[in-house]
Amino acid sequence: MPPFGLRLCFTLCFVPFAYASRSPANFQVVQSSNKLDTTATTPGFGLNSALLYRTTGSQKSVRLNKDAIANEYDPSTKNEQSLPASFDWRNYQPAVISPVKNQGACGSCWTFAASECAESAYALKTGKLVDLSEQQILDCTPNPDHCGGTGGCSGGTAEIAYQHMAATSSGGLSSEWTYPYVSGKGANQTCQKEPHVVANVKAYNFLPPNSKDAALKSMLVRLGPVAVAVDASSWSSYKGGVFECKPTDVKLNHAVQLVGYGTTDDGTDYWTIRNSWSPQWGEDGYIRIKRDDSQCDIDDVPTEGQGCASGPTSVKVCGHCGINYDAVVPIVEDQSHIQ
């Protein structure tokens, strides 16, 4: 039984009532008995990964079309034998994953997924982990085609955030501390015109819908943490372990950051995902969900997830909670020296 009543906040961004509207002070913390699975890492992989990233991140694997903002990532050119059996960006040094955030009662998951992946891409590029501004994405990203909602606290997608930044000459992300998150109670704010830019998103990589697990693993390990869309309708009572989404009624309605994968001692494959419902939720703010690209369903409300108003009225979504449907990794430039 979920501890509190549930509320589907807006379109994209499922937010359970407990995490949306209880302040940490009066929130009864349900401690997870399952600690993070630190065994799910190949010891010493961090170094190899740095090499992989630097050598493949420059030209070949990314396959940048010169002026294209959206670049399809093609894992077929890689030697996938070299992918580790388990992987977790939280174990990478210097760190590329900032502390778990709380979106509050605002349908802003898409801004968190987008800023978290930009933070990771920036950290991989510069060695500096800087919390970047969800609020700036929330306030400044237009959503005329109503992709994943109508914009601001009423939903969007990581992709429209990156498209907007890449298409804007001054487009770039400020740090969290110069442009802090204030929409936790659900109110939109006005875009601040001259943000102090740290990281400039110039393009992004994506996978075709419902790519295989191997492709998503490759993208994650080669390029960095991935913004993915999921059905989080039944995540509210999650406390730990490997979660299995029902194979029916899958509706993408949430955006999160994929940070790793592994296999439990009893042989269950999983993805490790960072959520934005505070560190009190799940496994210290994270969830592991079953990794199995053969489970597919039809999502008949795609505009609540990754779809746009002009798109199809139903889409096939694969993976538990639909995680294989949409995968995006930003490509960033360091802008901090310009200020």
Q: Which residues belong to the active site?
A: 109, 254, 275
From the CB of 134, what's the least distance to ligand NAG, in Å? Answer: 14
Torsion of the alpha carbons at 195, 197, 199 and 204, rounded to the nearest 10: 50
Site membership for ligand NAG, residue 12 (CB under 6 A)? no
From the CB of 305, what's the least distance to ligand NAG, in Å? Answer: 17
| 257 closest CA partner among 235, 270, 276 | 276
Which of 152, 184, 282, 330 forms a contact with ligand NAG (CB under 6 A)? 152
Site membership for ligand NAG, residue 303 (CB under 6 A)? no
By C-beta, is 157 or 211 nearer to ligand NAG? Answer: 157
Tokens 């704010």 sit at which residue? 189
Which of 135, 150, 163, 236 forms a contact with ligand NAG (CB under 6 A)? 150
By C-beta, is 23 or 190 nearer to ligand NAG? Answer: 190
Of the listed pieces 90-98, 145-153, 251-259, 280-288, which binds ligand NAG according to CB under 6 A? 145-153
Of the listed pieces 77-85, 125-133, 152-160, 194-202, which binds ligand NAG according to CB under 6 A? 152-160
From the CB of 141, what's the least distance to ligand NAG, in Å? Answer: 9
From the CB of 187, what's the least distance to ligand NAG, in Å? Answer: 7
Please, are residues 7 and 258 in contact by the beta-carbon 8 Å criterion?
no
Phi, psi of 158 (to 5 degrees): -60, -35
| 264 closest CA partner among 249, 250, 279, 283 | 283
| Sign of torsion over alpha carbons 306, 312, 317, 321 | positive
By C-beta, is 102 or 324 nearer to ligand NAG? Answer: 102
From the CB of 196, what's the least distance to ligand NAG, in Å? Answer: 23
Footprint on residues 171-230 left by ligand NAG (CB under 6 A): 186, 188
State the alpha helices, DSSP H only, in 168-250: 213-223
Footprint on residues 153-182 left by ligand NAG (CB under 6 A): 153-154
By C-beta, is 111 or 211 nearer to ligand NAG? Answer: 111
DSSP 278: -
Site membership for ligand NAG, residue 151 (CB under 6 A)? yes
Give the strand pairing for 327-334 and 197-207: antiparallel
Span between the terminal Cα atoms of the chain, in Å: 51
What is the rounded distance in angstroms from the CA atom of residue 9 to the CA atom of residue 315?
Answer: 23
From the CB of 281, what's the least distance to ligand NAG, in Å? Answer: 23
Phi, psi of 239 (to 5 degrees): -120, -15
Torsion of the alpha carbons at 173, 175, 177 and 179, rounded to the nearest 10: -10
Q: Which tokens hold the place of 109?
A: 């998951």
Of the listed pieces 80-88, 149-157, 258-266, 274-282, which binds ligand NAG according to CB under 6 A? 149-157
The residues that touch ligand NAG, with contacts defined as CB under 6 A, are 150-154, 186, 188
